């Protein structure tokens, strides 16, 4: 168990006994839950076929996700057969070349095309759709088993649904594969995945829907598949940053196929950027060193942003940030203790003071990892102070999600966009800018802190926390429902 996980378990009682990152619901309990409509069981049962019975390749080794994979294929076929005509004004053309597992010493004869000659090494640790021959090949020896082991068998469905997104983009169907940069195509495929997952939550795959743990694991899988910080979105192999991919997935989940199809008209703008010359001088280009200056720079920028936004309010006072040893938290706030609004962060509205447990901040920096994982926590603390100043009466999950959204508003204001960089600030103010990978660090932190289930009603599920944060990043205060 990591130090950060141990700390989360220790301080969890102050946050409503939120589970640590290692905890998972028991499979039997998840399978026994019922969805809101009472007809779908929650959770995906593991299971394979008897040797020689797998429908796609009788010689394939049995895997614990095989039955779910076959159910997913059938469901994706039904999903697109039903929905494709609604958005593309034409009948859906089923996949013609089939789906093919590949593994070392596979005796099956696989289709060839798109520079694939049938060699396992050409698909190792990958899955792809080939327009020449209209087929999908996936690595059943490394990629799928490793993802199923690390992120659960739901991740197998998401990878397959993503490749099916490229099926839809092919010349046999929507015919857009040659019209857009790769990042647009990949993000649209992620959006399609989100729309399919939302449909599963409503209609099920063979009578079952994803559990909250499945959705959380799916987000982690998308984060894992994001481009490396500093990669260019114009790279022919670019897929989008972790933030971009999760954001597109949630576009589809909450909006259905409509927003995804619209990507072909209004291309998504990836929030990917390179490192500056100054950042390359650091030991880790994307991160401030963990020291007092890092906190001073972040706190100074947060104070400037919120002072500018709320400075005309009579009750607003410029916040102060204090680092404290574990023995000094929770700090006193009047006649009681300051409230812990997220892991290691305490807010006292009466004194406009935000206190951060230095040991927890260090663990977050090292283990999430990254400086903006800490920045996200500071952003949440300042956001909660803003809500108190505004007289907000919301509490529990609703308040925590609003904190996430307002932290996202601040993050969006320090993106290194041309508009933000052109902002005129007083001579005595030095604003910070996000580095490549910072948004990815924030959503990893949000996922870590999420409630295990939607019924917990404390911090918000990982899925909801990420969505709240990205709404603030992308749409500013309006995304949080504020004027």
State the pLDDT at residue 315. 84
Nearest Cα residue to 382 out of 334, 433, 332, 345:
345
Q: Is the pLDDT of residue 17 over 50?
A: no
Q: Which residue has the higher pLDDT, 18 or 209?
A: 209
Confidence of residue 1 (pLDDT cuts 50, 70, 90): very low
Query: Rounded to whole angstroms, how far apart are CA atoms 445 and 369?
Result: 9
The pLDDT assigned to 321 comes to: 97
295 and 357 in contact (C-beta within 8 Å)? no
Give the pLDDT of residue 69.
97
Which of the residue ranges 8-17, 69-78, 212-221 has the most confident prediction, judged by mean pLDDT?
Answer: 69-78
pLDDT interval class at 38 (50, 70, 90)? low
Average pLDDT of the chain to the nearest whole number: 89
pLDDT at 13 over 50: no
What is the arithmetic mean of pLDDT over 322-350?
96
Q: Residue 251: what pLDDT?
A: 97
Tell me the pLDDT tens digit for each residue of 421-459.
Answer: 778 888 888 899 999 999 999 999 999 999 988 788 899
pLDDT in the model for residue 218: 86
Mean predicted confidence (pLDDT) in 370-380 = 97
- Is the pLDDT at 340 greater than 70, yes or no? yes
pLDDT for position 420: 81
Q: What is the pLDDT of residue 306?
A: 95
477 — pLDDT class (breaks 50, 70, 90): very high
Confidence bin at 105 (pLDDT 50/70/90): very high
Check whether 461 has a pLDDT greater than 90.
Answer: yes
Task: Quick: pLDDT tens for 229-264.
Answer: 777 777 777 788 999 999 999 999 999 999 999 999
């Amino acid at each position: 168990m990591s130090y950060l996980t141990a700390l989360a378990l220790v301080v969890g009682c102050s946050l409503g006994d939120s589970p640590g990152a290692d905890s998972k619901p028991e499979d039997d309990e998840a399978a026994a839950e019922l969805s809101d409509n009472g007809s779908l069981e929650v959770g995906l049962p593991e299971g394979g076929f008897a040797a020689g019975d797998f429908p796609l390749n009788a010689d394939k080794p049995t895997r614990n996700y095989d039955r779910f994979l076959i159910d997913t294929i059938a469901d994706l076929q039904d999903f697109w057969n039903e929905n494709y005509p609604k958005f593309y004004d034409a009948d859906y053309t089923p996949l013609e070349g089939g789906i093919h597992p590949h593994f070392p010493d596979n005796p099956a004869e696989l289709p060839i095309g798109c520079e694939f000659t049938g060699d396992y090494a050409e698909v190792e640790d990958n899955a792809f759709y080939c327009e020449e021959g209209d087929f999908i090949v996936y690595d059943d020896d490394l990629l799928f088993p490793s993802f199923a082991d690390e992120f659960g068998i739901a991740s197998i469905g998401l990878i397959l649904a993503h490749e099916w997104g490229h099926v839809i983009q092919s010349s046999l169907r929507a015919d857009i594969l040659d019209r857009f940069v790769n990042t647009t195509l990949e993000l649209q495929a992620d959006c399609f995945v989100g729309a399919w997952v939302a449909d599963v939550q409503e209609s099920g795959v063979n009578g079952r829907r994803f559990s909250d743990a499945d959705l959380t694991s799916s987000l982690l899988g998308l984060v894992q598949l994001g481009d490396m910080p500093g990669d260019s979105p114009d790279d022919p192999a670019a897929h989008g940053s972790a933030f971009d991919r999760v954001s597109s997935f949630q576009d589809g989940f909450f909006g259905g196929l409509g927003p995804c199809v619209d990507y072909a008209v209004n291309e998504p703008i990836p929030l990917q950027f390179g490192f500056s010359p100054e950042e390359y001088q650091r030991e880790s280009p994307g991160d401030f060193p963990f020291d007092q200056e890092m906190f001073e720079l972040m706190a100074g920028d947060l104070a400037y942003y919120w002072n500018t936004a709320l400075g005309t309010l009579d009750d607003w006072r410029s916040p102060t940030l204090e680092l404290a040893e574990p023995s000094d938290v929770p700090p006193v706030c009047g006649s009681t203790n300051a409230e812990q609004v997220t892991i290691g962060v305490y807010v006292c509205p009466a004194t406009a003071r935000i206190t951060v447990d230095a040991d927890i901040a260090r663990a977050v920096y090292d283990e999430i990892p990254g400086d903006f994982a800490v920045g996200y926590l500071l952003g949440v603390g300042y956001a909660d102070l803003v809500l108190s100043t505004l007289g907000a009466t919301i509490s529990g999950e609703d308040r925590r999600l609003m904190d996430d959204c307002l932290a996202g508003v601040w993050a969006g204001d320090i993106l290194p966009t041309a508009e933000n960089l052109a902002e005129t600030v007083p001579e005595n103010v030095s604003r910070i800018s996000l580095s490549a990978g910072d948004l990815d660090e924030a959503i990893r932190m949000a996922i870590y802190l999420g409630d295990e289930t939607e019924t917990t009603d404390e911090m918000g599920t990982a899925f909801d926390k990420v969505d709240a944060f990205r709404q603030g990043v992308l749409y500013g205060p309006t995304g949080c429902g504020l004027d």
